[in-house]
Amino acid sequence: MPFELHEPADLTIEQLRLQRKRQAALGYRIFASFGWGDDGAGHITARDPELLDHLWVLRQGVAFRNATIDELVLVAPDQSIIEGNDANGFNVTSHNIHHPIHCARPDIVSAAHTHTGYGTPLAALCTPISMVSQEACAFHNDQAVYLGENLDVVDADGGQPIADALGDNKLVFLANHGMLTVGATVASAVGFFVMAERAAEVCMKAPSARVVSDEAAAQTYTSIGGDDTGWVVFQYLVESRLDAPEDVG
């Protein structure tokens, strides 16, 4: 499957909406390919290109591996579903966490979060990624930690402090909870999430690893810290981990 272009300027609103929804469905399937979200925990949101305060998200009860464009629902700021199959609703926590982030960050299109084997343990340590691997350097001076103890974010007021902690960064650790990444495309948010998990794995497996200098980390960041890197990683993940990406619709 050829690489998709970043959001080309000549796309119509409908074409751009379809591209974002397709990347979101593929993102859920990528998460499933790692075994993430098999208990329903996690969410990927995509900002609608026309209704900018509305978010596309997978409806409740659909396994991540079965995500399709048609299983996404469009959620309004008041958490009503205005488009898509509203059977079983949607994971309200996704909106409580993601909506304040999307409001605070008009530069992003997507936010991605789920519970993982290494990112969640690192979050339990309430510490960011150490600069001990190449992937880690993609988050050099571009990550934050949210120290709140509201592990179950029951309303948007609980999500606002997370948005505040994220700030202008692309990665935030939710203490004792897990990781969340954002991107200028759905693809880059998902690609950077996978990179963050790989960096977290090194931190957890090699706690005494050498930390590279700030200068070395900064230099590496200039090569792999830009949004294009997350987007490219996503394309390779689709090719290498999904048997039938065309099935998303």
Q: What is the pLDDT of residues 186-216, one digit of tens each?
A: 999 999 999 999 999 999 999 999 999 999 9
SS3 call for 87: coil
Q: Is residue 5 part of a domain?
A: no
Name, in order, each residue with C-beta under 8 angstroms of 196's C-beta and a sequence gap of 6 or more.
Answer: 119, 129, 135, 138, 139, 171, 179, 181
CATH number at residue 98: 3.40.225.10
- Structural domain containing residue 126: 13-241
Q: What is the pTM of this model?
A: 0.96
Residue 1 pLDDT? 46
Does residue 148 lie in a domain region? Answer: yes
The answer as to whether 34 is a domain residue is: yes
User: What is the reported pLDDT for 2?
Assistant: 53
Give me the pLDDT at residue 3, please: 63
Structurally, the chain folds into a number of domains equal to 1
pLDDT tens, position by position, 144-184: 999 999 878 877 788 999 999 999 999 999 999 999 999 99
Is residue 205 included in any domain, yes or no?
yes
In a domain, 65, yes or no: yes
Tokens of 180: 């969340």
Over residues 120-137, the mean pLDDT reads 98
